Amino acid sequence: MLNVGVLGTGFGQKIHLPGLQHHPQTQAIAVWNPELGKAKAIADQHHVPHAFHHLDKLLSLPELDAVTISTPPFLHYEMAKQAILAGKHILLEKPMTMTVAECQELHHLAQERGVIAVADFEFRFVPAWQRLAELLADGFVGKPRLIKIDWLVVSRADPSRPWNWYARQDQGGGALGAIGSHAFDYIHWLFGPVRSLCGHLSCAIPERPDPKDGNQLKPVDADDTGLILLELADGTPVQLSLSSVTYNGRGHWLEVYGDRGTLVLGSDNLKDYVHGFKLWGAPAGQPLTEQEIPKRLAFPQSFSDGRLAPFIRVVDHWVHCIDQGKPAAPSLAEGVYSQLLMDLTHESHRRRAWVDVPTLAAIA
């Protein structure tokens, strides 16, 4: 049994705690929150024996094997580094860190210390996405000619949504980190490395009310919309449109057009970014038809919150890597690549220019 501490109690409470409690080989034994009272209340609610607001005390628990980290991104680097130095395996939420240099340091440190570090890129574990990967590998579309991604949701479209870390670029907020990190990972997973990119980021809602300061309006400098063009290493063009402020946005769609056919994967569910994906395909010249998702790929159990079932599969992947004593994708190495593409998107936006992407060998 893997004894796990949960660092962060937003997404950590909604997904990490129940996911760890559901998995047959893991159990949550400690919770961390900067407010001890809140940590204790959440621990009591979920029947977790320990609660802390000092990370070093949590990491000193003799029975602790590992931690999951779902705090705001600006805290990831220091917390992950402290956990790795304490010899604890880590499951890290995206965006991994604030910069690719920080993520590379964590990746190398984990390798040196023999710690298994994985990234929570859960789309790799969703049945419809897994079937898409199989069909692409089987050559269903042939050589891709165009890849088009729209991820247009409503989560932050309401200007009255409160100001917090998500509104601050210096704390890792913004749509690029929240959803672009996933897109960059699955582009690499499904289609290979990127040669160059050009990005434009914008913020449609420049102020939000801060409930901790009498609802005074505070400035927002984190992006809520991003338009990114990428050229893959094989020359294939990719168009990526991201936004968290689109009322009635079309949801999350990936379209792959090749010389032998077309595949379209999408969901218009704006309330749950995992539930609702369907897959359509067609050989060249034929109408699109819905593709069956084989039962062998289905989740053994589904939940009202669609994020929980793929997270449990991520945990299963983590446990397997720990048992085998070596990481496998999605590991922190994949996190480094996603973080690299985010950093370069910011650079491209600042320079208003295309930027080259280093090869995988150059950033290893």
Spatial CA neighbour of 135 closest among 338, 329, 253, 293: 293
> Is residue 9 located within the same domain as residue 96?
yes
Rg (CA), the chain: 20
Tell me which of 65, 91, 115 is where a domain ends: 115
- The pLDDT, as a whole number, for residue 251 is 97
In a domain, 194, yes or no: yes
Residues contacting residue 18 through CB under 8 Å, at least 6 positions apart: 46, 308
Write b or e for each residue in 19-33: b if 16 or more Cβ atoms lie within 10 A of its Cβ, otherwise e.
Answer: bbeebeebebbbbbb
**CATH classification of the domain holding 195:** 3.30.360.10
- Measured CA to CA, the distance from residue 162 to residue 218 in angstroms comes to 9
CB 66 within 8 A of CB 5: yes
Tell me whether residue 45 is exposed, middle or buried, using C-beta atoms within 10 angstroms of its C-beta: 0 to 12, 13 to 18, 19 or more: exposed
DSSP structure class, residue 178? I
In a domain, 333, yes or no: no
- The length of the chain, given as a count of residues: 364
- The pLDDT, as a whole number, for residue 361 is 85
> Is residue 111 located within the same domain as residue 135?
no
In a domain, 312, yes or no: no
> Is residue 107 located within the same domain as residue 70?
yes
In a domain, 219, yes or no: yes
- The pLDDT, as a whole number, for residue 360 is 85
List of the chain residues with pLDDT < 70: none
Could you give the number of structural domains in the chain? 2
Write b or e for each residue in 110-149: b if 16 or more Cβ atoms lie within 10 A of its Cβ, otherwise e.
Answer: bbeeebbbbbbbbbbbbbbbbbbeebbeeebbeebeebeb
- Measured CA to CA, the distance from residue 160 to residue 229 in angstroms comes to 31
Which of left, alpha, beta for 8 (phi over 0: left; psi -120 to 50: alpha)? left
> Is residue 215 located within the same domain as residue 186?
yes
In a domain, 309, yes or no: no
> Is residue 129 located within the same domain as residue 266?
yes
CB 311 within 8 A of CB 118: no
In a domain, 361, yes or no: no
Tell me which of 115, 140, 175 is where a domain ends: 115
In a domain, 318, yes or no: no
> Is residue 145 located within the same domain as residue 87?
no
Q: Give the amino acid at 39.
A: A
CB 232 within 8 A of CB 177: no
Residues 173-207: pLDDT tens digits? 999 999 999 999 999 999 999 999 999 999 999 99
Domain of 58 in residue numbering reads as 2-115
Q: What is the crossing angle of helices 100-113 and 76-85, to 10°?
A: 10
In a domain, 108, yes or no: yes
The label of the residue with tokens 């991820």 reads 151
Tell me whether residue 308 is exposed, middle or buried, using C-beta atoms within 10 angstroms of its C-beta: 0 to 12, 13 to 18, 19 or more: buried
Residues contacting residue 28 through CB under 8 Å, at least 6 positions apart: 4, 5, 6, 16, 17, 20, 21, 46, 48
> Is residue 346 located within the same domain as residue 231?
yes
> Is residue 135 located within the same domain as residue 280?
yes
CB 281 within 8 A of CB 263: yes
- Measured CA to CA, the distance from residue 276 to residue 119 in angstroms comes to 23
> Is residue 80 located within the same domain as residue 219?
no
**CATH classification of the domain holding 12:** 3.40.50.720
> Is residue 131 located within the same domain as residue 238?
yes
Joined tokens for residue 266: 């999408």
Adjacent-strand bridge partners of 147? 238, 256
> Is residue 106 located within the same domain as residue 143?
no
- Measured CA to CA, the distance from residue 285 to residue 267 in angstroms comes to 24
Tell me which of 89, 115, 141 is where a domain ends: 115
Q: Would you give the end-to-end CA distance of the chain in angstroms? A: 32
> Is residue 211 located within the same domain as residue 248?
yes
- The pLDDT, as a whole number, for residue 57 is 98
Q: Give the amino acid at 99.
A: T
Query: Whole-prediction pTM value?
Result: 0.97
Distances (CA, A) of 29 to 43, 183, 313: 9, 32, 20
